[in-house]
Structure 1
Amino acid sequence: MNGESRLLAPLVPTRGYFPDFLTPAEGLLGMDEALSALRETPAARLHDELSRLSVARPLPPWIRAMAEGETRPLGRLAGTLQRYYEVAVAPHWPRVQSRIEADRAARGRALLDGGADRLLSSLPPMMRWRAPVLEADYPVDRDLHLGGRGLLLLPSYFCRRTPVTFHNPDLTPVLVYPVEHHPARLAPPPSLQRSLGRLVGQTRSAILHGVGVGCTTSELARRVDVSLASASQHATVLREAGLLVTLRQGNAVLHTLTPLGAALLRGTRPAEAEEEADAYERLG
């Protein structure tokens, strides 16, 4: 793993510019599609973006060769990214996905409640909507003019402190912003065996079904016809079991299902549910 990290470090420095081709739009479809698109990056674009990277620091020979149009280093990069993903990201993916889905539910709710203005005003505090301008804390001073194009908002588990966007203003406008994090990063949930043993009875089953695509504690209490205190208590148990995730929105909280919780409601086959549970147990 350390060898892979050292290999990628010159391409993705901890601060400053990194090439746009490393985050192709096809990444929205999955890792395989993203790597396929990366392998097909035009030579002219590789040369342009990697040359800009070399201004800040000397590049190793294999990256210089890639910048000059050699195809083998590009395949090597794709293989390295695949192995890095399998070791560093895939084992934690259920937790990552649950945070992303919680954020998406919160933004979707804001959009439904108040349109684009409410959505943009609901973004994390490092971004401020002052119509018609969305201001964002950013490592450098720059303006991105949409020119009639839409803006794709992407919540990211791994983006920290400030949003990021493409360096090339001609690419589809994308703003990647950090999701809300708990103090412990990728901390394992409590023992699933102990917590799931508490999940008996009709009320908690109704709570899971009542969450739907996301709801507050008050809405949950109304849907299940229980008191606010009871809904909060049951939601806490379900959260400790890894079946719900809770995102604070102002004075309220928004509950959404984790992939494991959704799998239970879908009636996932035992072996598949076991795999998802094991993924949570491997965290940490």
Structure 2
Amino acid sequence: MSELRFSLADVAGVRFAVSPANETVMSMWALGDPVRYAVHLPWIDRARLTLRRPEVADRVRPLVELTRPRRWLPDFLTPAARPGMEMTDQLDQIAATPPDVVVQDLLATIPRGPLSPFGQALLADPRGLLPPLVDALRVWYDEAIAPDWTRMRALLDADVAHRAAQLAEGGAGRLFAQLHPSLRWLGDRVVSDDPFERDFDLRGRGLALNPSVFADRRVLWNLLEDSLPAGAYPVRAVGTLWERVPATPGDPLARVVGVGRAALLHLLAAPATTTDLARRTGMSGGNVSQHLAALHAAGLVSRSRRGRHVLYRNTEAATVLVRASGGG
């Protein structure tokens, strides 16, 4: 069990951001344990073919060795992300890790199992071997993550919008109570049911919260004394990540409003962004926007802004139509 102690400044400093580095690093767990990560099998099948290519396998080997299943990650591989950061920004963060921090983070993983051959070499020469590790991250992102990043990003952004609304409407207590079942908010601290046994004072630095496609069972904390504390938590609705949910012409609702608009109404029982709807239906973003504009004008969807996100949701009239058509 871990405890994170908050001051008023820490509560005010809670922020959300999407971390492409987290997804790049943690995706290796899915490759190593496809049964546990069965929800990602469509991606795993493609990624395994990518990793079999000799020119990829050789350059990615340092990352593979540091992310073996059921082993702890060295924290410097998953630095806290700030809003708007891209993979290039996070690669620069990792490349700038001081050698003593690399050593410290590697040593911290040993209780979970011995270091791999590359881990041992990196421990002995952190300055010389950090560049090929950064190159491994870059290659894996470009080859395995970037082709699906728009889809992943839409899901992650939708989660950020949802959590921001929770924070605005119910404060930090509601946010942490609903962020993950393993967390409890006790007024001045978060108690996390995990095996890490950390007692950590945030000391006014706040906390970066990063939704993650590949974090699956608990919140993964990155708690360092000299950098922004962070937590990667499982994203909502990850089961929808690889699905397509188009309406069919046989749908009674589709015969009334059209196939595309019916597909959106079936999905908008919960708030969603244009990008998320495009991902889930396979329609282009422009096509989704046109349909949403028509549905909004007809009083069938409402829209609200949460930060830089615009969320759409069915109105009561639309809910009646969907139910009447047998869709909910």
TM-score (normalizing by structure 2) = 0.57
Q: Which residue of 1 aligns with 2:73?
A: 18
- Structure 1 residue 27: Cα displacement: 6.6
Q: Answer yes or no: is 1:87 the counterpart of 2:180.
A: no
SS of the counterpart of 1:109? helix
Amino acid at match of 2:213: Y
Distance 1:135 1:70 in 2: 34
- Structure 1 residue 121: Cα displacement: 2.8
Deviation string, structure 1 residues 190-239 (Cα, Å, up to 9, x no partner): 4538xx59x6596326477835445574xx52xxxx72426868xxx9xx
Q: Which residue of 2 aligns with 1:110?
A: 166
Amino acid at match of 2:171: G
Same amino acid, percent of matched pairs: 27
Q: Answer yes or no: is 1:229 the counterpart of 2:319.
A: yes
Q: Which stretches in structure 1 are left out of the alignment for 5+ residues?
A: 238-284
5 Å-filtered alignment, 1:102-181, equals: 102-166=158-222, 168-169=224-225, 171-181=227-237
SS of the counterpart of 1:165? strand
Distance 2:171 2:136 in 1: 42
5 Å-filtered alignment, 1:262-273, equals: none
Distance 2:293 2:230 in 1: 44
Amino acid at match of 1:203: A
Question: Is 1:66–1:74's contact at 8 Å kept on the other side of the alignment?
Answer: yes
SS of the counterpart of 2:199? coil
Amino acid at match of 1:227: A
Distance 2:293 2:134 in 1: 49
Deviation string, structure 1 residues 253-273 (Cα, Å, up to 9, x no partner): xxxxxxxxxxxxxxxxxxxxx
Amino acid at match of 1:204: L
Distance 1:113 1:184 in 2: 26
Q: Which residue of 1 aligns with 2:114?
A: 57
Structure 1 residue aligned with 2:99, among 43, 47, 56?
A: 43
Deviation string, structure 1 residues 29-79 (Cα, Å, up to 9, x no partner): 21111112222222222222224445622432x443432336442211111
Q: Which residue of 1 aligns with 2:270?
A: none
- Structure 1 residue 12: Cα displacement: 1.8
Question: Is 1:137–1:163's contact at 8 Å kept on the other side of the alignment?
Answer: no
Distance 1:171 1:151 in 2: 10
Distance 2:60 2:312 in 1: 41
Identify the structure with bigger relative contact order (alpha carbons < 8 Å, sequence gap 6+).
2
Question: Is 1:103–1:179's contact at 8 Å kept on the other side of the alignment?
Answer: yes
SS of the counterpart of 1:104? helix
Q: Answer yes or no: is 1:203 the counterpart of 2:294.
A: yes
Compared CA separation, residues 69 and 182, structure 1 to 2 (3 A): closer
Distance 1:58 1:119 in 2: 37
Q: Which residue of 2 aligns with 1:265?
A: none
Q: Which residue of 2 aligns with 1:98?
A: 154
Compared CA separation, residues 116 and 185, structure 1 to 2 (3 A): closer
Q: Which residue of 1 aligns with 2:283?
A: 192
Distance 1:27 1:201 in 2: 30
Deviation string, structure 1 residues 157-199 (Cα, Å, up to 9, x no partner): 2211100112545543222211113435533444538xx59x6
Question: Is 2:151–2:241's contact at 8 Å kept on the other side of the alignment?
Answer: no
SS of the counterpart of 1:102? helix
Question: Is 1:92–1:186's contact at 8 Å kept on the other side of the alignment?
Answer: no
Q: Which stretches in structure 2 are left out of the alignment for 5+ residues?
A: 1-49, 52-56, 245-279
Deviation string, structure 1 residues 94-142 (Cα, Å, up to 9, x no partner): 2211222222112211222232233233323232223233222323333
Question: Is 1:160–1:178's contact at 8 Å kept on the other side of the alignment?
Answer: yes
Q: Which residue of 2 aligns with 1:30?
A: 86
Query: How many pairs does the alignment contain?
Result: 226
Distance 1:105 1:76 in 2: 36
5 Å-filtered alignment, 1:232-243, equals: none
Amino acid at match of 1:150: G
Question: Is 2:183–2:191's contact at 8 Å kept on the other side of the alignment?
Answer: yes
